[in-house]
């Protein structure tokens, strides 16, 4: 165990490399006491048996009864022994996200604890929205939606077509066989089509960037045991790439349901969280397409969990 711990110290601290340990069932003895618990991020599988000594050995040595389930992954997770619990069918995706995020945010000894906690929560919540009596964790979908992919692709093809037609009228050559350049005069039709094409390409590029960076995705974490609320969102690259809010649960005054209009002038319900001294923080977006019944149910469940009233505006 000493040799393994020493080697891992050199691997992590001196070489600045990333180490993730995965605890399967069973994980006991020297594995638990050495490299199993020394990872930068420690992942456990559901219902795993994790312990240093077995139940029978502990009972014979200490002459005490070990509670049933006290060496299960779910029980130890609540005690803070490791980070996320990840089923094996989603483990590949979680590890891929962790390594990608580590490439963007390499470990810094002065900031590693906070950075790792945000990465762990985001990655695990991306694959699992989770709720218990004390903790509510909800995944927030970002810009990587089917509708955004479709609009970005259609807008790109349409604007590219407009630009090619405008360029064909200027050059006097048929870059697109369906639209002979002789039938389109460069001034003013060609100029207008070129302008629409360039504008469309800019808008399409903006949409593809939001999809690439998954802007707006993240999670909401309500921890009734610790009395805190954590809201995390991915933004655009730069100063606001990682948006993280940490609030006290006692400052939450109410859950508000408000009527808003989307871009199509349709009246929809939006959920807010009213914070004392900070105003209202939106919990849903106007483009989520949730039905009024779903919004009301979510508001009722969240208000009951937070022990706050519901307001309707």
pLDDT digits (tens, 9 = 90+) for 119-155: 555 555 554 556 677 778 787 888 888 888 999 999 9
Which residues are bridge partners to 136 per DSSP? 131, 222
Both ends of the chain: CA-CA distance in Å?
Answer: 61
Give the pair of three-digit tokens for residue 272.
């807010």
Q: Please, are residues 274 and 303 in contact by the beta-carbon 8 Å criterion?
A: no
pLDDT at residue 112, as a whole number: 46
Provide the pLDDT for residue 178.
Answer: 64
Cis (ω within 30 of 0) for the bond into 234? Answer: no
- 217's CB contacts (< 8 A; 6+ apart) are 126, 140, 141, 142, 143, 144, 233, 234
Four-point Cα dihedral 48, 50, 53, 54, nearest 10: -20
pLDDT (0 to 100) of residue 180:
62
| Spatial contact of 236 and 213, defined as CB atoms under 8 Å apart | yes
Q: Which helix (H) or strand (E) holds 44?
A: strand 41-44
pLDDT, tens digit (0-9, with 9 covering 90-100), for 229-259: 888 888 898 888 888 888 898 999 999 988 8
- According to DSSP, the β-strands at 242-248 and 252-261 are unpaired
pLDDT for position 113: 47
Report the distance separating Cα 181 and Cα 194, nearest Å: 13
- Residue ranges for the chain with pLDDT beneath 50: 104-105, 109-115, 127
Q: What is the pTM of this model?
A: 0.58
């Amino acid at each position: 165990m000493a040799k393994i711990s020493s080697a891992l110290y050199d691997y992590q601290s001196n070489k600045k490399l990333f180490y993730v340990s995965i605890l399967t069932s069973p994980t006991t003895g020297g594995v638990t006491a050495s490299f199993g618990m020394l990872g930068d991020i420690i992942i456990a599988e559901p219902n795993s048996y994790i312990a240093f000594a077995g139940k029978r050995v502990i009972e014979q040595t200490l002459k005490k009864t070990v509670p049933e389930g006290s060496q299960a992954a779910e029980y130890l997770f609540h005690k803070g022994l490791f980070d996320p619990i990840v089923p094996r069918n989603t483990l590949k995706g979680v590890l891929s996200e962790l390594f990608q995020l580590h490439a963007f945010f390499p470990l810094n000894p002065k900031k590693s604890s906070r950075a790792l906690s945000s990465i762990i929560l985001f990655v695990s919540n991306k694959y699992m929205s989770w709720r218990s009596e004390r903790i509510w964790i909800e995944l927030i979908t970002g810009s990587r939606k089917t509708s955004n992919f479709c609009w970005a692709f259609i807008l790109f093809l349409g604007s590219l077509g407009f630009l090619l037609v405008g360029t064909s009228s200027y050059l006097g050559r048929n870059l697109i066989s369906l639209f002979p350049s002789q039938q389109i005069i460069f001034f003013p039709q060609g100029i207008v089509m070129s302008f629409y094409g360039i504008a469309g390409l800019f808008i399409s590029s903006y949409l593809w960037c939001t999809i690439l960076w998954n802007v707006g995705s993240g999670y909401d974490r309500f921890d009734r045991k610790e009395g805190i609320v954590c809201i995390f969102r991915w933004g655009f690259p730069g100063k606001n790439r990682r948006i993280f809010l940490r609030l006290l649960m006692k400052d939450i005054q109410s859950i508000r349901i408000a009527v808003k209009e989307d871009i199509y002038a349709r009246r929809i319900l939006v959920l807010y969280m009213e914070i004392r001294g900070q105003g209202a923080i939106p919990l849903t977006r106007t483009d989520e397409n949730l039905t009024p019944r779903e919004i009301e149910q979510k508001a009722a469940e969240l208000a009951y969990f937070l022990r706050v009233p519901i307001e309707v505006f």
